[in-house]
Structure 1
Amino acid sequence: MHQIAPENTAQLLAARKGRVTELRARIRGLFNSGVNGMQLATTLCEGSEKLFLELVEEVLSTRPAEVQNRIREGGAILAVGGTGRGEICVYSDLDILFLDGMTSADFRAAVTDITQACWDCGLKLSHSIRSIDDTIAFAAQDVPFCTSLVEARHLWGQAPLSELTIRRFRQRLLERRKRAFIQSCIDGRKSEWEKSGGGVQELQPNVKTSLGGLRDIHLIRWVGQAAYGVRDLDQLRLKGALTKEESYDLRDAWDFLTRIRFDLHFEMGRAQDVLLRDDQLRISGDDGRYEAAHMRLVEKFMQTYFRHTSRVANIARRFSRRNLHPTILTQTKSLILGHRADGVLRVSDQGVEARRKDLPRVVESLTSIMRAYRLAAMHGVDLSPEIEEAIKVRIPSLTGAALSQETAGLFVEVLRYPLRLGPLLRSMFETEVLDAIIPDVTHVRCLLQFNQYHSYTVDEHTLRAVEVMTGFEADTGPLGAAYRSVRNKEVLHLAILLHDVGKGFDRDHSEVGRDIADRIGNRLFLPRESTEQVMFLVLKHLEMAHIAFRRDITDMDLMMKFARLVGTPETLTMLYLLTAADVTAVGPGVWNEWKAELLDEVYDRCSVILTGCHEQFHQTERLRKVRDEVVRLLASESAPPPPEGAPREEGAAEPDAPDWVHHQLSQCTPYYLTSTSAEQVASDLKILQSLDDKAIEVTGNYDPQTGTVDYRVFTRNPVATAGCFHKMAGVLTAKRMEILAANINTTAQGVVVDGFRVKDGDYEGEVPPHRIREVAMSLRDVLLGHTTVEDLFRKHRRFGERRRPPVSNLPNQVKLDRDSTDEKLIIDVFAHDAPGLLYTITKSIFDLDLSIDLAKIATHFDQVLDVFYVRESNGRPVAGTERRKAILETMNAQLKEFETGGHRRFLV
């Protein structure tokens, strides 16, 4: 034992801290030398246990001999959880159970001193003090504690006490309640991975708790202990519970994930299990270049990561289901209510099953496998784990061949049944049946596109999109009505399955996807008309979102062109559903009420054009409702309240708003009225009513939910309106505001109503009123010419600031759209966000002698999409090829100059 005889407490504490620091430094050295993850974890655990036991002895040595004897004879210490497994990470807690066999005050007092000594020297404990009965009782009601006891082993004290506790735990909770224990483990894991993101391929995964992470390997150990009496992966393999391939795959993943976890802990200097994008770049050594065609180092690294976690998740799911044996009641019910189909298959509410001796016949060919899936789809159930296992083993020998017409027909038939289509396609994906049917699926397995927009890999996004799509069946709104109206659901479902299959190539993924859809339609023996419909949906799957979220949808000319492009009401409905499912499946929170309303409105307007009938509501009706709501709000404010207690005459009309309200509403554009809440419109109109020809009114409101400030600027002053947008963007940038969104509008009378949603870089919490007043004053001063944007940049310059490198590898670019509307030129700007970007873009537009009629500014993480509707400054449309070419070249040059170095003037 490490002997220390310090002169005082400070020396003792310093010596203990030194031992912890020395251990971590030794582990860091092993990590730097390339030692594998599992060896790091076991070496660290052994060293930490040694330190812990030394501390135990040092604390006990301060007690009288008779007290020491009572503690040693009446208690024990067990390692549980990760410590019990013998593998911990650098800043993980030591999982310890102090077992008090005599309910001794001396023992519990010693535990208090031991835990304090551990915490003081930096050795964190996750511990509890319990008797044997308390341990068993608490384990029966707390799943995490129960699973930690699966890994329990004796560490110190009375070994018979530890052995008795472990034996009773296994007898009472694992052997007698085996099924309940396994079910609770599965339910606990499901809850855990749903909290961490819910997908095996979430793009910033938790290496421990995300689906397919280390915790799923632990789940296999827990279930293995209950079902087979062993938990070591090699022992499970020897018992036939795992195949040789599965045990090796689990070992490889365990080592891979554990080493990444050590990397994260070392980098942060604390417990950190989430693999953030910055960590992905750092670990992969990605500097933005492409190692091979079309893939960055970080994308290759994460593809490897997801291949490991996908395999772990699949093995854990099948292993758990296989060992969760049905109850006697369930088996009896299945025998009574189930029925045989296709000779060797049996269907019940538990799924499609087969006797073990019949499994070879079920999986003898791709056709026989598809018969099983077709049967499951027809009855809305899943395949049994045994059938899935047999398919997984058999499928490698069945891939690569041409599909028979029968096999293709069975797959297409599966696509017609929405009830369990999502889970069944996921099963086909996991067993690789889907690769045999659609070979192009292999290319997108675990395919990551390193940007901040998507939350999942291409394959996971696609499977989620299918699940979202089929969920529309139960939707009570317009999406549900549209989905239920689709007759050829196999076409719609095939389109959503193929919509992103063209990603990962050097061509536009929609065009590649169209070509793949053409080939797959022929492979599946679809009628040519159906194949062409799938091809169109894949090619144009981004078009409807582009129009709904980035264009002025009150422009009927634009709606006419889009309707002509789509061609038929059926295709329009399919594209509407595909768009909603695609956007929703991008990630949590991406789909929202605002997007739903915009997409619904585009669908409605195009339906009117194609059929003459409204699917939901008419633009005129919506504008009327908005105007009526604004009138109601302003009328209730302007009307004097009735005397208290005065009776209201039955049938009395609501008070009408003053004439100025109706006049102001008539001057507002349809876009402004349909994209702004009625409450905000009412507030804006009150400001406009009192606005004279020289005034500039600026309001600012802090939103505590988003931590942002909304600034709104109102003016009809001709001096202020000239080039006002770029000036306002410049002021906000100079004041260190991150512009997240902007919306500019001009009434028919030339009154500017511009709004900016910003994040104030000088304040982490609430932005104080004096700061909002200061920004408002600067906006007025610049618009009136009292100062300039350049002066503000010089005044508020912050030395030492640096721009963060962009996360995405997408190129910056400017695109012109002259086809969507005849009256205006639409400028789309795609760029990496940085201070001064919006100012640079809008200043360039102003210098080109263009006037901005409408703008949509949106920032998603580090990626910006700015849309500008412009005319010539004299109000005429932008005309001529040379003029448009000059605009495009100038703006691209400005954007390139900003990216390569111009952004620095806004930083230092």
Structure 2
Amino acid sequence: MKDALCSALQPLIGEARRRLHENAATLRAAYEAHPRTSALLEGRARLVDAEVIGLWQACGMPDDAALLAVGGYGRGELFPASDVDILVLLPAAATLEICERLSAMVGALWDIGLEIGHAVRTIDECIEAAADDITIQTNLLEARLLSGDLRLFAELNERYRETLDVRAFYKAKQLEQEQRYARFNDSPYALEPNCKESPGGLRDLQMLSWIARAAGLGHNWRDLARRRLITGGEASDLRSVERFLQHLRIRLHYLTGRAEDRLLFDHQEKLARIMGIEATATRRASEVLMQRYYVTAKMVTQLNTVLLQNYGTVIFPDRGAAFVINPRFQVVRELLDMRQEDIFERYPSALLECFLLLQQRSELKGMTARTLRALWINRNRINAAFRANPEHRALFLQILQQKRGIVHAFRRMNEYGILSRYLPTWRRIIGQMQHDLFHVYTVDQHILMVLRNMRRFTMGEHAHEYPLMTRLIMAFERHWLLYVAALFHDIAKGRGGDHSKLGMTDAREFCVVHGLASEDTELVVWLVEHHLTMSHYAQKEDTSDPEVVQRFARIVGTERRLIALYLLTHADIRGTSPKVWNGWKGKLLEDLFFAAQRLLRGATPQQALGLDDRLEDARRLLRFHGLRPGIEDRLWSELDAVYFMRHSAEEIAWHTRVLYFRPDTDEPVVKARMAEEEDGVQVMVFTPDQKELFVRLTGFFGRLGFTILDAKVHTTRHGHALDSFMLQDPGGEASYRDVITLIEHELTGYLVRPGVIDRPSRGRLSRQVKHFPITPQVSIRPDEAGRHYILSLTAADRPGLLFDIAETLSSHGIRLHTAKIATLGERVEDTFLLTGAALAQDTQLLRVERALLERLQV
């Protein structure tokens, strides 16, 4: 029967496909001429209704069955590329004949171009499935009859309502939202958000609608306003932000030709142009669009919080009496509540006091909806006079000095417009994108992440993650000053000029007007000015050189400043992107910190680098591994001080254990091991020196797909190369233990074939770099001692990049001694220590720089 039915449907399918295509094109043309979301979404639902009902009838479905639209389709809102979800409701279990008719119908729906999601159930099966799955329960909430038995549909609705536990539904949807937020890092401010699923997206609004329907509170925003769950203004705001997000999603579907909901870099500029958004003198059109998106998402999360709390008041009316805190505030159902409606008008200081109370009273989970609403309405009372009031300044400092809740307080103040009113310079960075592909957050969210990281250093539950940081910050007098520095370190981003210098002015003004002691003011201002200095020295300078460490220590000046800068740098790097921080960067910072600390405590440069201690520690480790005293002398006599300064005691001991019995071998020795930080592999190569050795090694590692985080190149007194590498899998997919044997075996075989060079593929650029190209920069300058030259370069990261650099240098007769590789998202900032005759001649130096720039072009 099925084959006959499918054959009979073929003429109908062709006609339906043509009709669907033509009518969809008409809808699109009408939308693009006069963009109205309701006309498009409802029009597409009606258009699909006609074709689905037509095929249902053509398939001769029984009269006692019902065809229902569910999900967004049931709501009567169908986006251009959205799935069409249907439910076939049967009075009893499906017979073979019904199954065949359904199969033919669903196949026909796919054939005409619809993405169909379907289920076939009886009423009992629907109720049972809904009890086990909140998604099915939600879909049934919006079910709409398309065709078939009205009485069967009515019975389903009645049974569904009888079994629906509104309180359980409310809690389940809240939990669902929390889980969704966790998947998207609790932030609407990612650079490539999902306009449907991310916090502040359409799903947040849909969830509010579902709970309202389930609780019988209304079917639209106007219904909620009539019930005084929101104000008329908030109803208008909700409709406005909903329309904007719908427009974005519609445009995305049309632009990509599929159900794409992510605002990828690939689409942002095109979307802005389609939506009539113009670039400004300082910002791309895509940045203007995304800032508007972030403002919208922020408003959605605010209104979502307000409405959820108001729903809770209706759904759970019996949650106890109010507990009075003071004349202004009380506790209602674990929420902070204002005691009078005009509290913020009568007591403006309460605009800050409410956040302080949330910090001081651990039983409070947030604020009541009416308090949040009043806070938002009255935020503009924070003006110049408010900011000048000593009481208000003292309250703000108190918020920074509390033992708990600081990050929550500042996130709430940012979300509800209080922070931007109190710190006017903050207003400029809200929703500001950072197109360096290094920061994955907007500027304001990055600053709050740095504040969060700084706070975590003080918390016992995180001490195992940052033991040194915890020890340092807990011994740091008035460590809340570091929070002030964190707030201001990037506050001048996007103004043009050096944001570190510009931010100093803002930080100094804040400290002075808030009455900070001059010593504390100077510390905060200095930290803002130098917040990038330590990362620069650690990642780009040769910190095994005593003069480099001395130069850094002179900038720092005091141990208190050193500790403060170390803490801020650590928190700052970790607050840029989950992908940027790694254990190796942590080790670089830590080594520089301890070397500078010893210098500031009066040690000589040699003592600061701990050379004598390092050698003693290395000997101790050799004894620990059972090697007799003096066993190291033969190898160590071939190594100079530079080698010992550039390697840790543990690395020296490891190299010695491998080489002490064969320091003159003519065979290559390759050893690899897990890095101490356990997020990479250390590789040691010992071989008679050979032409283009570094080029060959970078080619080999590049072919295997590894990123080189660090390279130390050394030549012994008897002409052997002793090179060390720190490798990492950029995709995070490698099992490092599995590749150690592979590296040792293959690299040894590779090195015994002189002249053979592995040429890694250049690979493809990431799509981010394509949309935000990075202009290569190259600088070669002599170091202060005049013994070496320092090559600094910036370029877009790609496979084979280090090989290209090494090959170019080698072709000009330039010898590389160390390489510091800093990968910042999609950008690399690498530093190399070089020697070579070509570097001493201006014309030759210019040729080298030009050659490097040509190889760095993408």
**TM-score relative to the length of structure 2:** 0.83
The residue aligned with 1:640 is none
Q: 1:855 aligns with which of 819, 839, 844?
A: 819
1:277 CA displacement: 1.6
The residue aligned with 1:720 is 691
Amino acid at match of 1:216: D
Structure 2 Cα separation of the partners of residues 514 and 13 of structure 1: 69
Amino acid at match of 2:334: Q
Of 390-399 and 163-172, the range deviating more from structure 2: 163-172
The residue aligned with 1:828 is 792
1:359 counterpart SS class: coil
1:496 CA displacement: 0.9
The residue aligned with 2:558 is 568
1:440 counterpart SS class: helix
Of 442-451 and 585-594, the range deviating more from structure 2: 585-594
The residue aligned with 1:51 is 51
Q: 2:337 aligns with which of 337, 340, 353?
A: 353
1:455 counterpart SS class: coil
The residue aligned with 1:745 is 713
Of 252-261 and 475-484, the range deviating more from structure 2: 252-261
1:181 CA displacement: 2.1
The residue aligned with 1:368 is 350
The residue aligned with 1:216 is 204
Q: How does 1:59-70 map to 2 (within 5 A)?
A: 59-60=59-60, 68=61
1:366 CA displacement: 3.8
Matched, 1:868 2:793: no
The residue aligned with 2:507 is 517
Quick check: 1:813–1:895 contact (8 Å CA) kept in 2? no
Q: 1:592 aligns with which of 571, 577, 582?
A: 582
1:194 CA displacement: 1.8
Structure 2 Cα separation of the partners of residues 231 and 9 of structure 1: 38
1:411 CA displacement: 0.1
1:609 counterpart SS class: helix
Structure 1 Cα separation of the partners of residues 596 and 11 of structure 2: 80
Quick check: 1:6–1:12 contact (8 Å CA) kept in 2? no
Matched, 1:394 2:378: yes
Structure 2 Cα separation of the partners of residues 283 and 269 of structure 1: 13
Matched, 1:152 2:120: no
Say if 1:277 and 1:855 are closer, same or farther in 2 by CA, change over 3 A: same
The residue aligned with 1:496 is 486
1:518 CA displacement: 1.5
Say if 1:658 and 1:676 are closer, same or farther in 2 by CA, change over 3 A: closer
Quick check: 1:814–1:888 contact (8 Å CA) kept in 2? no
Structure 2 Cα separation of the partners of residues 398 and 501 of structure 1: 19
1:751 counterpart SS class: strand
Q: 1:438 aligns with which of 391, 399, 423?
A: 423
Structure 1 Cα separation of the partners of residues 762 and 540 of structure 2: 34
Q: How does 1:320-331 map to 2 (within 5 A)?
A: 320-325=308-313, 331=319
Say if 1:859 and 1:19 are closer, same or farther in 2 by CA, change over 3 A: farther
1:205 CA displacement: 1.1
Q: How does 1:714-793 map to 2 (within 5 A)?
A: 714-717=686-689, 719-720=690-691, 724-725=693-694, 741=709, 743-749=711-717, 750-753=720-723, 755=725, 784=755
Say if 1:7 and 1:697 are closer, same or farther in 2 by CA, change over 3 A: same
- How many corresponding residue pairs? 830
The residue aligned with 2:457 is 472
Structure 1 Cα separation of the partners of residues 257 and 618 of structure 2: 54
Structure 1 Cα separation of the partners of residues 422 and 452 of structure 2: 19
1:318 counterpart SS class: helix
Deviations, residues 91-135 of structure 1 (Å, cap 9, x unaligned): 322122222233343555544443333334442222323333333
Quick check: 1:41–1:258 contact (8 Å CA) kept in 2? no
Q: How does 1:692-707 map to 2 (within 5 A)?
A: 692=666
Structure 2 Cα separation of the partners of residues 479 and 143 of structure 1: 44
1:72 counterpart SS class: coil
Q: 2:156 aligns with which of 152, 165, 170?
A: 165
The residue aligned with 2:120 is 129
Quick check: 1:469–1:581 contact (8 Å CA) kept in 2? yes
1:179 CA displacement: 3.4
Of 844-853 and 367-376, the range deviating more from structure 2: 844-853
Q: How does 1:632-647 map to 2 (within 5 A)?
A: none
Amino acid at match of 1:136: I
Matched, 1:258 2:239: no
Say if 1:417 and 1:226 are closer, same or farther in 2 by CA, change over 3 A: farther
The residue aligned with 1:663 is 635
Say if 1:132 and 1:294 are closer, same or farther in 2 by CA, change over 3 A: same
Of 446-455 and 864-873, the range deviating more from structure 2: 864-873
Quick check: 2:817–2:834 contact (8 Å CA) kept in 1? yes
Structure 1 Cα separation of the partners of residues 765 and 478 of structure 2: 57
The residue aligned with 1:283 is 271
The residue aligned with 1:271 is 259
1:311 CA displacement: 1.5
Q: 2:191 aligns with which of 203, 227, 237?
A: 203
The residue aligned with 1:301 is 289
Say if 1:349 and 1:379 are closer, same or farther in 2 by CA, change over 3 A: farther
The residue aligned with 1:139 is 130
Say if 1:363 and 1:595 are closer, same or farther in 2 by CA, change over 3 A: farther
Q: How does 1:804-823 map to 2 (within 5 A)?
A: 806-808=770-772, 811-815=775-779
Structure 1 Cα separation of the partners of residues 726 and 486 of structure 2: 36
Structure 1, unaligned runs of 5 or more: 61-67, 636-653
1:301 CA displacement: 2.1
Structure 1 Cα separation of the partners of residues 485 and 309 of structure 2: 31
Say if 1:625 and 1:240 are closer, same or farther in 2 by CA, change over 3 A: farther
Structure 2 Cα separation of the partners of residues 850 and 251 of structure 1: 65
Of 826-835 and 308-317, the range deviating more from structure 2: 826-835
Structure 2 Cα separation of the partners of residues 119 and 436 of structure 1: 54
Q: 1:248 aligns with which of 218, 236, 242?
A: 236
1:753 CA displacement: 1.9
The residue aligned with 1:64 is none
1:512 CA displacement: 1.4
Q: How does 1:94-133 map to 2 (within 5 A)?
A: 94-105=84-95, 107=98, 110-133=101-124
**TM-score relative to the length of structure 1:** 0.79
1:445 CA displacement: 0.7
Structure 2 Cα separation of the partners of residues 317 and 495 of structure 1: 30
1:607 counterpart SS class: helix
Quick check: 1:425–1:463 contact (8 Å CA) kept in 2? yes
Quick check: 1:45–1:83 contact (8 Å CA) kept in 2? yes
1:770 CA displacement: 12
Deviations, residues 154-192 of structure 1 (Å, cap 9, x unaligned): 22222233233334434542xxx4333222212101211
1:507 CA displacement: 0.4
1:486 CA displacement: 2.9
Amino acid at match of 2:157: I
Say if 1:698 and 1:748 are closer, same or farther in 2 by CA, change over 3 A: closer
Structure 2 Cα separation of the partners of residues 891 and 86 of structure 1: 65
Quick check: 1:716–1:751 contact (8 Å CA) kept in 2? yes
1:57 counterpart SS class: helix
Quick check: 1:469–1:578 contact (8 Å CA) kept in 2? yes
1:212 CA displacement: 0.8
1:404 CA displacement: 0.9
Quick check: 2:344–2:378 contact (8 Å CA) kept in 1? no
Structure 2 Cα separation of the partners of residues 259 and 556 of structure 1: 60
1:242 CA displacement: 2.8
Deviations, residues 685-705 of structure 1 (Å, cap 9, x unaligned): 59985742xx667899999xx
